[in-house]
Copies of this chain bind each other. A is one copy, B any other.
Amino acid sequence: MKNTTLKDLSKVLNISVSAVSKALKGYKDISVSTRNEVLRMAEEMNYIPNLNAISLKTNQTKTIGVIIPSIQNQFFSKVLTGVIEEAEKYGYLVITLQSNENFELEKKHLQLVMQKQVDGILISLSNQTKRCKHIEAIIQNEVPIVMFDKINKLVKCSKIFIDDQQAAYNAVTHLINKGYRRIAIFRGSLTPQNSIDRFLGYRKALIENGIEFDPSIVYLCENNDDFNDGFTNTQKLLSEKNNVDAIFAITDLIAVGIIECFKQNSIKIPEDVAVFGFSDWFMSSVITPTLSTIKQPGHEMGKKATQILIQEIENNNNKIPTIIQNVVLPTSLIIRNST
């Protein structure tokens, strides 16, 4: 059964297509009687406007593309929920694609949504992404794009993120205040801005508190498999007998890997070693010991990013110039039993 079209309605009602169109859209230059007739018949024949045709005509798809590293990451799934819900309020639908932390995939998926003529794009960069020519090409094309969470500071577009450096600083300061002195960091890859910032916040907190920064207790987690990265790096740490009394992990999942390894080695948390996470995944509130961490507003970030993006889209439509925004969302310390 094919969909009912304006033409179908016009035939049945024996009036012109344009009259039908106008009636449906509530134009005032159509008589009330015909309008009612049209409305009734549209209802009866279950008329559904073809959004593709409208898109072609209006040059707007009412669709936005979202590219994130991984849907299964709890933080990003929160963001995505925020995006989808907010977009719908404004009549936009969302096409989602993952980069899997892979630069080539990110580029390819950007192409795909561009082909689809999305009105705007939301992106959180992959760990591999160093240069952003692919993003700049989009901007040049005048398609609004908003970066969130994993951003690149050099790109000229709106961004929404947290103050990673400050958050890490707060976390490590908390550890220091609790009396921990030999604090290791389990950091992420060298490329992403938030990985860098969290590291800088860590180091700053040490230095400001008169604790020497020791590169030998910096552990790199860069296999995109946080739990195992945390676990195996903890084995390494244990074998190195370096007297670490606390660990600041750059994600909750790494922290959970750490905790698991300590458990298996009968090392007490926080008595022997404290562990601090980052992101506040649900899991962290129910493992033993419960994990101290940084609360990061995922849903809020998705919502806000979408608002900004849609604002830019509508600005574009109305030919009013857009001002680039940088929005920094607040985080908070969640102190639990692991520190």
Contact = CB atoms under 8 A, between A and B. Distances in A.
B115 A49 contact: yes
Contacts of A294: none
A84 B61 contact: no
B52 A286 contact: no
Interface in A203-218: none
Interface stretch (A25-33, A70-78, A181-189): A70-78
A94 B93 CA distance: 10
A48 interface: yes
Interface in A48-63: 48-53, 55-56, 61, 63
A15 interface: no
A56 B48 contact: no
Interface string A276-294: 0000001100111000000
Contact of A77 (B53, B71, B260): B71
Nearest to A91: B112
A266 interface: no
Contacts of A63: 95, 116
B88 A78 contact: no
Given A52-B117, A283-B282, A97 B84 contact: yes
A154 interface: no
Interface in A65-117: 70-72, 74, 77-78, 80-81, 84-85, 88, 93-98, 111-117
B98 A95 contact: no
A141 interface: yes
A299 B199 CA distance: 34
Nearest to A74: B72
Contacts of A116: 51-52, 63, 93
Interface of A: 1, 3, 48-53, 55-56, 61, 63, 70-72, 74, 77-78, 80-81, 84-85, 88, 93-98, 111-117, 140-142, 227, 256, 259-260, 282-283, 286-288
5 closest A-B pairs by CB? A288-B288, A52-B55, A283-B283, A72-B77, A52-B56
Given A51-B115, A53-B56, A71-B77, 5 more contacts: A71-B81, A77-B77, A93-B113, A95-B95, A283-B287
14 contacts: A1-B140, A50-B117, A51-B116, A52-B56, A52-B61, A52-B116, A71-B77, A72-B77, A72-B78, A80-B96, A88-B112, A95-B95, A227-B282, A288-B288
